[in-house]
Amino acid sequence: MRALSSLALVAVILLGAAVPCQAAPPPGDVDGDCAITLVDLCLLYQMVLGLADPTPAADLNGDGAVNVADIVWFLKFAYPDAKGDTNGDGLIDRADYRYAERQVFSDAPDPDADLNNDGEVNVTDLVIMAKILEAIESGW
Ligand SMILES: [Ca+2]
Ligand SMILES: [Ca+2]
Ligand SMILES: [Ca+2]
Ligand SMILES: [Ca+2]
């Protein structure tokens, strides 16, 4: 329950407004709730890691397979404002945490490491980064 509420907090920080649902779910809406959220990204990661059964909705680039290319597609097109890919390689993983950590101690930190958009890169952003990784890796 505690993990769930912290994830919800991260989701609120990250998402801002949900995408309104029209006739069909928007591309990237892996769980079919008509909103592009961190939950869709988590679900996509689970499918790519083999922790959940892939669904057609998860094949975002339409190549017939659900793999890392679909995660890159998701972050690039469905959810370009997603925070967490601090080093800009199209994936959210531990390398992004290490990158963010370095930015905290940098004289000219990368704005992409400012996960809560408060204009500063500090330990709060590292906590958020850790929660994003926790959410993705826990397979929630
Ligand atoms: Ca969704
Ligand atoms: Ca694909
Ligand atoms: Ca990255
Ligand atoms: Ca910040």
Helix 123-137 to helix 38-48 angle (10° resolution) is 50
Residues with a beta carbon under 5 angstroms from ion ligand 2? 59, 61, 63, 65, 70
In Å, how far are 44, 63, 140 from 56, measured between CA atoms?
A: 11, 10, 20
**What pTM value is reported for the model?**
0.61
Compute the distance between CA of residue 8 and CA of residue 80 in angstroms, rounded to an integer: 19
Nearest ligand to residue 29 Cα: 1
Token code pair at residue 34 = 């008509």
Find the ligand nearest to 133 CA: 3
Q: Which domains, and CATH codes, for the chain?
A: 2-137 (1.10.1330.10)
**Ligand 4 centre distance from Cα of residue 98 (Å):** 16
Nearest ligand (C-alpha, residue 126): 4
Alpha carbon of 91 to those of 11, 71, 133: distances in Å?
18, 7, 11
Angle (CA) 124-87-67 rounded to 5° is 110
What per-residue confidence (pLDDT) applies to 18?
52
Q: Is the dihedral of CA 21, 25, 29, 32 positive or negative?
A: positive
- What are the structure tokens assigned to 97, written together? 């945490």
pLDDT of 13: 45
Nearest to 115 by CA among 11, 4, 33, 3: 11
The closest ligand to the CA of 32 turns out to be 1
Per-block average pLDDT, block size 10, for the chain (140 residues)? 50 49 79 88 88 94 93 82 85 94 96 91 92 73
